Amino acid sequence: MNFPTIFDWLDYFSFLRGYPATWILLGTGMLIVLFLDWRLSLLALIVQYLVTSLLFFDLLNPQLAFIKLFTGMFVCLILYWTARQITYGHKVNLNGFTWRSTSMNAIHLGSLSIPRVLAERIVGILVALLLVGILVGGFSFSLPGLPTKMSYTNLAILLLICLGTAGVITGRAPLPIGMSVLTFLSGFELYLAALDQSTRTLALLAALNFIVALVISYLTQRYYANTLVAVNNE
């Protein structure tokens, strides 16, 4: 029995390469910022890593690009295991809000009431998309060092960096902020992959991803512990 190779998988998903992958990254980046449930945000992050790997295959040796995919999946596993350890058997909010507090701090637009935390994230996304639109559409900005025929990679990098920054600014707890940091880091890695394909650089970036994931895990656990203390003191 012959198992599919990396190249077989690339053929299976060839229809997603290029601009389709970029539009999916736009969607996942927005959802990571927007979702008020860590499970949905983490699912969007997993899809983001899977799709980003297709862009890495255009820039790197397939074996090295596969390492990028493996690193992303391991990072998501660390975040999932951390969140499940904390929330197992408990009603714990890891996104820095409660529905009661959001209903009390809502923005009213006529008959429509939007939780303030959600409104902040929507504004952050709109500002990020406006910035990317101005750079790409208005100024035809292209990052130096990128091949001119790979304009979709330029757009993907800018989207990941700007949406990641929006998520960091509007986040209220370590876990959602950390996922946005990882989104930003994916965009940075894509750009660096176009400039430097050395194994040493890729290994350092993989190590950086693991370090960031562990820091997010630690801060999330500390956040939960502090929240638990505050609830017990009420």
DSSP states along 7-66: HHHHHHTGGGTTHHHHHHHHHHHHHHHH-SSHHHHHHHHHHHHHHHHHHHHTTS-HHHHH
23: pLDDT strictly greater than 60: yes
- The reported pTM is 0.87
What's the pLDDT score for residue 126?
96
Domain borders along the chain are 19-233
94: pLDDT strictly greater than 80: no
Tell me the pLDDT tens digit for each residue of 166-203.
999 998 889 999 999 999 999 999 999 888 888 888 88
CA–CA dist 157, 105 (Å, integer): 34
